[in-house]
Amino acid sequence: MSKDLKDKTEGELEEMVIASGRKKYLAGSIFRFIHSKGVEDVSLLTSLDKSFRAELAAGGYFISRLGVSRRLADPDGTVKFTFTLDDGGVIESVVLVDGKRRTLCISTQVGCGMNCVFCATGRLKLQRNLTAAEIAGQVYAVENAGERITNVVYMGMGEPLANYDAVLKSVRILNAAAGRNVGIRHLTVSTCGIAPAIKKLAGEDIHPRLAISLNAPSDELRSELMPINRKYPLKVLLDAVEHYQYRAKERVTFEYVLINGLNDSAEQAGKLVKLVRRFRCNVNLIEFNPHDGCRFKGSGAEQIDRFAEVVRGAGIETTVRLKMGSSIFAACGQLGAKGPKR
């Protein structure tokens, strides 16, 4: 069991406090000091008496800290943060600005094991899962650096549902009223399509928004782009999404990266409509962002508009996500790619 107090929910802290022979209300105080006040040293948990703080320290308990190792800003307002972890692993988070909406895209793994052919992170391969403290800690570190965050999306490095337990715990921690109190509708978990994990998440007592990285309207093409589709083809995936929507009672988002000459024709847009029209959903269209070693090119504005027109024409809410942060390799699919050193 982790000795990192930041890695524990309020319920887990209660169990620890009770086991020490103390009143469980102290767990709420510990949680608030760490997740609301930002305390990063056991000795500074001043709502606890000195003997309890000494006992925690002697027992090896600590409060982890995620420090920013590099910060890059794009002229369009996008900011990318790089974090070097205690074991030398490297992750990245990105702040995206859209009017008053300031979204932080956070990572859940060091590298990624899903091997999607258009994604730079997949080229790094999976190195390890992040802890809940490391996931939530990205939010705290970015806010401590002066950024105001309104929304959090689990769309950075790694596949969130391949690190299910830590991701769900981090959702609970970020959503907790005694901590940052991020509204559940402001937390979005994205997945490449691990159907059993989607169904498992549907059975939880907490339901973040769900986004599905779809990217192709047929099993043949999707399996070429995203190997996970060979294990969980479109019917299996979409049935799981339907189950999640039934339980969560929320709209879902389908993300579709447009690659020139591969998945961006009007005919393919029509096939996409047939796949998703049964859902209460919105479709995010994303121009492919190039990176070294990848042969693909983005579709371009004219082709994206034609594709979007077909989907919108079917009455499906459609957003064209503008290319943001590409000069600092912070755009969708570029995290972990070699970027400029500043």
Residue 294 is a catalytic residue: no
Q: Which of 14, 92, 159, 255 is catalytic?
A: 92
Q: Is the dihedral of CA 110, 104, 242, 265 positive or negative?
A: negative
Residue position matching structure tokens 């047939």: 274
Q: How many angstroms separate the CA atoms of 201 and 196, rounded? A: 9
- How far apart CA 147 and CA 72 sit, in angstroms, is 13
Nearest residue to 86 via CA among 130, 136, 142: 130
CA 44, 46, 51, 55 torsion-angle sign: negative
Catalytic residue among 105, 112, 119, 332: 332
Query: How many whole angstroms separate alpha carbon 231 and alpha carbon 210?
Result: 20
Structure-token match 């969560």, residue found: 248
Catalytic-residue membership of 112: no
DSSP 254-310: EEEEEBTTTS-SHHHHHHHHHHHTTSSEEEEEEE----TT----B--HHHHHHHHHH
Residues with catalytic roles: 92, 332
